[in-house]
Structure 1
């Protein structure tokens, strides 16, 4: 069904890759509700919706496209939604209205994905802009992680300051990060997964 032999892989390798992917992206289940709840959306509702979206999207990619990609709500747009759209409107735009716009955009994108226009739009975006978007989202996720670990904190002088590097949480995060980087340099499969296991222990 999944063309395991044709793709020169094994069930064991795919299960390990799936577990690694899950633990790498499961942060979104907590971070997404944390960001969107600032707009007034109940935390538990966003928590449940995030899980359902990830399950449905990932199963769709697996069963319909036979593609080993995990799908979940993305970082970046949720912050844009919470801060730029709802937060900066001074109460003029409620989260219900903003969600309605997101729903309409989602329907539009689904329709576009069923037409040849989708390919033309993707090809029309310059490569440097695609790389910039990818790097920007990666830096934003790293920023959220560093802030959550306490490595960086808010600072009135220059907005971002160095956190308390002597606190146990920061030391633990740095050890886990260093361990993961060493494993990645050594080309160890599942480096992030093993780094998270060590940090958790």
Structure 2
């Protein structure tokens, strides 16, 4: 498989966490961003962080900080677009994305996404919910640079839901097991931090 650039999506406003950067929250003695960088760096290179606001607060990570190119925080797809524009400047064919608040995502994420890409080159990760139904994980995906202008046009036209856009391009689906727990468990609240620390103790 091709080793692709990786983009960590950290552009959200963390309203359920009380604001600020979720990626800088500490889980079991380590910041979420440190955990995500460690996992993604084994799979992708180079890495960048999609984040808005003052980039200096993230300077210690030593990675490019890519702000949304569209105003008013239009959501994760804007972060994907920023990543695609960055990848285009590198001459890369695609990017892999991972969320900054999800510390347990699979170590074979990039490989599996590429193996299950749809005809357009798109692929989303998925894992089963409590009922066994596969749920897409739309911030974990493989995104071809060739679709960046289409994505830009869709966002400028008001599109915000990732799955609507990916379905329109026949995205593939890379399914991951949820045992012993969902690897895409993400941290949205202080209670989620406690749950993540419990999972780490059990690992």
Structure 1-normalised TM-score?
0.32
Whose helix fraction is larger, Structure 1's or Structure 2's? 1
Whose strand fraction is larger, Structure 1's or Structure 2's? 2
Bigger Rg over Cα: 1
Structure 2-normalised TM-score?
0.32
